[in-house]
Structure 1
């Protein structure tokens, strides 16, 4: 718990990415798939180049051909790719890049499929039919009770400065991932980002007994 990592996703410009990193974000996510938060590879590269060292650069993809993912990751300087589609375990295995596989919290059986994926971490997001993330919806966190994935768990789905403390205390994830929960009128808000990071770290530190 004391090493909780925080990812701010859906960053669309270098200035906001840099400000989020200075506020304490460990990772910055850029959406390279159809979305209202989508950026071009050129924009993602600019964001990656603007970030301070030691901040993880994450590219989000949805059912993108593997060779295209590899090319974009190399061009942008991504550290890891986050896969939000129906990518198979074999797709992840053969990609040749560090991966985070996102799974919807549809039910316990769906989450147990995470064990099949040869990836660096599993991200669990709310299940919303027809959407692949960034919905602003939460899910029943008790679905994760005693779920031994043998992999780091990243919690996403409707997190905000108001509920992230409760989420961290209950789920005790490796990391939390937020996008819409730190936006105002569809734009990232640095005050909300700062509040989110502060609250998550406060609960993490308290739980660790420091």
Structure 2
């Protein structure tokens, strides 16, 4: 990963086959970046401080975590972002932000109702309503919104795309409330460039799309980053 123009690295702490225990995450980050433990501090101007400024931000992915769970994780792993994929309320997101001093990204699930696909106007109208309600509710409580394909089990990570034609509706509502919009859901090196070129989201989030046999594939990661960077 060293040298790749990546802004964030995500670590999954939510129930998932990709779940990582906090101790293992801290060890991996230390090996990759020389990152200090969450309780350590780096003096200004020191090599550790320089590393903190240049490394990607670390995002922890959670689904409906209890505050004690978050506290324990953050005591072990130095996270910059808490990314929430459950039914977390704006009040909860604000509490996480204020209590732990981290950025909070809130994921919104986008359903693809096959029964309504023949009624595009109705789909867009409903999506516009949901987008505005979400952006209005979470404004001031989170640092970014993320749209992902609806997954009834884990709140995301399904590896499936949703109807990208709805992205501008979410992007418009997010921007109106001062929030960037990230996009996830079924992204791969083959389609990421198209997404960025056609919809210009504030960022993209990928996981299964850069895996081979359930493991991260560095060649696919490099290809994905290159496709996004040149689009």
User: Is TM-score (shorter-chain normalized) higher than 0.5?
Assistant: yes
2:103 to 98, 109, 113: 98
Equivalent runs, 1:75-94 vs 2, <5 Å? 75-94=76-95
- The alignment covers a number of residue pairs equal to 184
- Pick which of 62-71 and 149-158 moved more: 62-71
Q: Are 1:110 and 2:130 an aligned pair? A: yes
Inter-partner Cα distance in structure 2 for 1:164 and 1:50 = 29
Shift of 1:158: 0.4
Equivalent runs, 1:154-193 vs 2, <5 Å? 154-193=182-221
Please give the TM-score of this superposition, normalised by the length of structure 2. Answer: 0.75
1:32 to 4, 7, 13: 13
Give the CA RMSD over aligned residues: 1.5
Alignment correspondent of 2:173: 148
Inter-partner Cα distance in structure 2 for 1:131 and 1:71 = 21
Point out where structure 2 has 5 or more consecutive residues left out of the alignment.
34-50, 112-125
Shift of 1:21: 4.2
Q: Secondary structure at the match of 2:205?
A: strand
Once the two structures are superposed, residues 50-101 of structure 1 have per-residue CA deviations (whole angstroms, 9 ceiling, x without a partner) of: 3443310111111111232133123201111100111000001111232011
Q: Contact 1:48 / 1:77 at 8 angstroms: preserved in 2?
A: no
Q: Which has the higher contact order (CA 8 A, sep 6+)?
A: 1
Please give the TM-score of this superposition, normalised by the length of structure 1. Answer: 0.82
